[in-house]
A and B are shown apart, each in its own frame.
Chain A
Amino acid sequence: MGRHTYDANQQTAIRPTGGSRNDETRSNRMPVAIEAIGLTKDYGEGDSAVHALRGVDVCFEQGKFTAIMGPSGSGKSTLMHTLAGLDSATGGHILLQGEDLTAMNDRQLTLLRRKRIGFIFQSFNLLPMFTAEQNILMPLTLAGAKPDRVWMRTLVRTLGLERRLDHRPNELSGGQQQRVAIARALITRPSVVFADEPTGNLDSISSAEVLDFLKRSVRELHQTIIMVTHDAVAASYADRAIVFADGRIVADEPEPTAERMNALLMQERQRATAMAMAY
């Protein structure tokens, strides 16, 4: 069924060894866009301390669309936020094309966010008082850099936003807003784009649109996208799906399908239930 055998009776999960090694059989070995080494993140202290990330090792290839799945509280969002430099890690390293994010100060991170990292949130992606075009160009405006008009046109065309550029966010549908967000994330041609439940607030049709566009950006525009989602269907758009649970990676699936992902999720639930019973 899957590449990994899963022993429900085992207390610990088999750690995946990273996508790149498994892909040795593939024709092209793509460079690594971003990787985490021994990443840990804790919240709070004492009794109510939460270990959101427990020594995570993972590599993300360039030009790939990766989905990170897992139940609520699994730490998947935390992983993404930390990878993106939006949150600080308690321990471990994050290498973005060789540079260590965990060693950077705020100013360096700021520069990173302007140029090398793009971000798409679940909601509230756009500044309400600006038009779609202004929102898309925001990272460049902040940096004081001039926009690449050709790239801009490409993005706008690819995302189907030609007729919406001068609309404000409240004049756009949810799906359209997310597309503007994607364009904004891509305008600087970042090394990596992080998407946090990008279809979380959308209805089924808009969701499909957005996921499709994400896939196309990877295929046609050669971006690297890492997406967090709890939706197995969304994960099926990706080239690779990682399952997260209790701060660890418990499954790593290339060419995921919705059914496969659901199965994996359920396995994880059963395991968790079994563990909970034991307490």
Chain B
Amino acid sequence: MGRHTAQAVQARRGHDGKADNTGNAARPAGSARPVRQTRKSQTTRDGEAVARAVDLVKTYGAKDTAVVALDHVNVEFMRGQMTAIMGPSGSGKSTLMHCMAGLDAPTSGKVFVEGLEVSAMGQRQLTKLRREQIGFIFQSFNLVPTLSAEENILLPLQIAGKPIDRAWFDHVVHVVGLEKRLTHRPSQLSGGQQQRVACARALMARPSVIFADEPTGNLDSRSSREVLSFLKTSVHDYGQTIVMVTHDPRAASYADRVLVLADGRIVNDMSHPSYEQILDVFASEGTDDTDGGTAEGEERA
């Protein structure tokens, strides 16, 4: 790791040529024009897209204090891949996932999952979507406290009234290493174990795509590693598609593809990046902002 690498990264990445609100379009010297991955090249590389966002826009709030969370985002998520969506808080990464998963409706634009237009669905259809196409892993409050681990894992299938593949269940449980914990309630499991149960639950139904929202956010290093490696295994061994939002570069390094968002736009799209590469992106990002930011900050006040 040396400065030259960092500079290369710096050269590669950059801001979109957006005009920020103050009309200050001046860019500090040394930054390069952005290089964006085109849709075409993505498609040919890894197989079809499981989920797509087309010109997604999401704004909150009223005129004066309006916040643009997603700014005309176009992206595709490929089958059989783990994609990490990164970015600082306020970058829109969570919002992007929420829209992709049907938890939130975009202000404009469309979202497709397995060809179905999620953004236009009503309650009934969303329920169906959640039963068949989509699985969730949240940062916390993933499990129903009154049910045992086993019951939690089987819950989505039972809710949908679908038959349970016992062989698959045994396999999943074995892979997450929870054979001895099946009868325990969440309160009797550690944070890492709880998340693993959540992963198992998400996998049980073999959905088209699993959306994970900061799955390791509340975990210590060891548990994080466990959960992440399990997720990676499920992608590589069972072809599961996973889209994960995280702010942790270490977590992102497990992914096959890393999208970086800032201020509502995709500013970077890396394929199989290393941890260092990810870190570099953030480091330079930050430095750049510091110089520019202060000046703007003064003006703002």
Contacts and interface: CB of A to CB of B under 8 A. Distances in A.
Q: Within 8 Å by CB, do A and B touch in the complex? A: yes
21 contacts: A71-B221, A72-B219, A72-B224, A73-B219, A160-B301, A172-B65, A173-B65, A175-B300, A199-B89, A201-B90, A204-B262, A205-B20, A205-B296, A205-B300, A212-B293, A232-B283, A232-B286, A246-B221, A258-B287, A259-B6, A263-B1
A276 B275 contact: no
A212 B20 contact: no
Contact of A208 (B247, B283, B289): B289
A276 B293 contact: no
B221 A233 contact: no
Given A73-B221, A269-B250, A259 B283 contact: yes
B48 interface: no
Q: In the complex, which of the residues A175, A236, A272 has the most CB atoms of chain B within 10 Å of its own CB atom?
A: A272
A262 B225 contact: no
A48 interface: yes
B254 to A, nearest CB: 12
B301 A209 contact: yes
A174 B293 CA distance: 16
Interface string A219-244: 00000000000111100100000000
Contacts of B282: 232, 262
A179 B191 CA distance: 35
Given A173-B65, A232-B282, A233-B290, A48 B190 contact: yes
B216 A72 contact: yes
Interface residues of B, number: 44
Interface in A110-160: 159-160
B8 to A, nearest CB: 15
A208 B290 contact: yes
A203 B221 contact: no
Contacts of A209: 293, 297, 300-301
Contact of A276 (B219, B225, B279): B225
Given A72-B219, A205-B300, A231-B88, A258 B290 contact: yes
A269 to B, nearest CB: 6
Q: In the complex, which of the residues A47, A205, A265 has the most CB atoms of chain B within 10 Å of its own CB atom?
A: A205
Q: Give me the 9 closest cross-chain CB pairs, A-B, nearest first.
A: A208-B293, A233-B286, A160-B301, A73-B220, A203-B90, A209-B297, A48-B190, A272-B221, A262-B283
The size class of the interface chain A forms with chain B is 35 or more
A218 interface: no
Contacts of A47: 190
Nearest to A277: B225
Interface string B46-70: 0000000000000000001101000
Contacts of A263: 1
B247 A230 contact: yes
Interface in B215-266: 216-222, 224-225, 247-248, 250, 262-263
Nearest to B219: A73
A99 interface: no
Contacts of B247: 230
Interface string B69-97: 00000000000000000001111000000
Interface string B1-26: 10000100000000000001000000
A212 B294 contact: yes
A91 interface: no
B138 to A, nearest CB: 15
Q: In the complex, which of the residues A171, A246, A276, A279 has the most CB atoms of chain B within 10 Å of its own CB atom?
A: A276
A254 interface: no
A199 B263 CA distance: 14
A72 B285 CA distance: 21
A200 interface: yes
Interface in A193-217: 199-209, 212
Given A258-B290, A262-B279, A269-B250, A204 B88 contact: yes
Q: In the complex, which of the residues A47, A175, A199, A204 has the most CB atoms of chain B within 10 Å of its own CB atom?
A: A204
